[in-house]
């Protein structure tokens, strides 16, 4: 969400800088846009890592439970 805000803020700065002829503001806006995009990409990668970690954890628990069940059946 923060990345999206920075990207929009950057777009506004680019537009204002362009309208007023303020090259510094325009450049700052371009940097803000890039920073916003980077934050969004990082956020997506973090979400994918979290999902992968959750899946791996769930599979590990299932494998452990299956092994425990098999060991119990063997003892009986």
Q: Residues 38, 10: contact at Cβ < 8 Å?
A: no
51: left (phi over 0), alpha (psi -120 to 50) or beta: alpha
Cβ within 8 Å of residue 58, ≥6 positions away? none
The model's pLDDT over 47-63, given as tens digits with 9 standing for 90+, comes to 999 999 999 999 999 99
Q: Residues 63, 44: contact at Cβ < 8 Å?
A: no
- Cα angle 4, 45, 40 (rounded to 5 degrees) comes to 10
Q: Model pTM?
A: 0.68
The model's pLDDT over 15-51, given as tens digits with 9 standing for 90+, comes to 999 999 999 999 999 999 999 999 999 999 999 999 9
Kindly tell me if the per-residue pLDDT of 64 is higher than 80. Answer: yes
């Amino acid at each position: 969400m923060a990345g999206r805000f920075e990207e929009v803020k950057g777009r506004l700065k680019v537009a204002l800088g362009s309208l007023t002829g303020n090259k510094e503001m325009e450049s700052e806006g371009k940097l803000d846009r890039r920073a916003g995009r980077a934050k969004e990409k990082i956020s997506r990668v973090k979400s994918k890592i979290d999902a992968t970690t959750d899946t791996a954890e769930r599979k590990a628990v299932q494998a452990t439970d299956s092994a425990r069940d098999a060991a119990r059946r063997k003892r009986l």
